[in-house]
Structure 1
């Protein structure tokens, strides 16, 4: 598992939030968040929880062994694919592979 700071930065960027926005929501100094993200400082559990709340995830989700949440566009695509028949999924897979070759 990546280090806590790197994972926090990845989540923040995935949600398209600036360091300033997350720091303001979490009620911490932007410099503190920067130190944490860069691995120069480890957050307390309380600080980690407030940062995670600002990012919209729980501490359990953060430390879960499961893959991180998919981007909304990919989640919608996956949800649609789940409703397809096996034959339709095969056709969709071929279409996506053909589009990816461009």
Structure 2
């Protein structure tokens, strides 16, 4: 998969708008659009800012195979970490009930 496609997939999995990501990594929305579409290759520092804004390290982003934690799950972790143990148990029961 090409870099632009991988960035777009990670952004969409996290339900982040292109505009929000562009602001977060200090890249114009037009440049981000060109990068995602493959019409422009990002400079290394730009690529590093984009990947960081998506919550990945460079190693995680470019690792072969399926990452241990997908971007959509990674986006939930900060929220889950703020829950009390009782809330976490309730969330686990809720998720288990959804699976059935």
- Cα shift readout 1:26-73 (whole Å, capped 9, x = no counterpart): 00100000000000000011100000111011111111013133342x
Following superposition, which runs of at least 4 residues in structure 1 exceed 4 angstroms of deviation? none
- Number of residue pairs matched by the alignment: 77
5+ unaligned residues in a row in structure 2: which ranges? 74-98
Higher RCO (C-alpha under 8 Å, 6+ residues apart): 2
Where does residue 2 of structure 2 map in the other structure? Answer: 3
Q: Tell me how far apart the structure 1 counterparts of residues 51 and 57 of structure 2 sit (CA, whole Å).
A: 6
TM-score scaled by length of structure 2: 0.68
1:27 aligns with 2:26: yes
- Counterpart residue number, 2:62: 63
SS in 2 for 1:67: coil
Could you tell me how far apart the structure 2 residues matched to 1:44 and 1:66 are?
A: 24
The question of 1:52 aligning with 2:47 is answered no
Q: CA RMSD of the aligned region, Å?
A: 2.3
**TM-score, normalising length: structure 1:** 0.67
Alignment of 1:37-48 (within 5 A): 37-48=36-47
Paired position in structure 1 for 2:86: none
Compare CA radii of gyration and give the structure with the larger one: 1
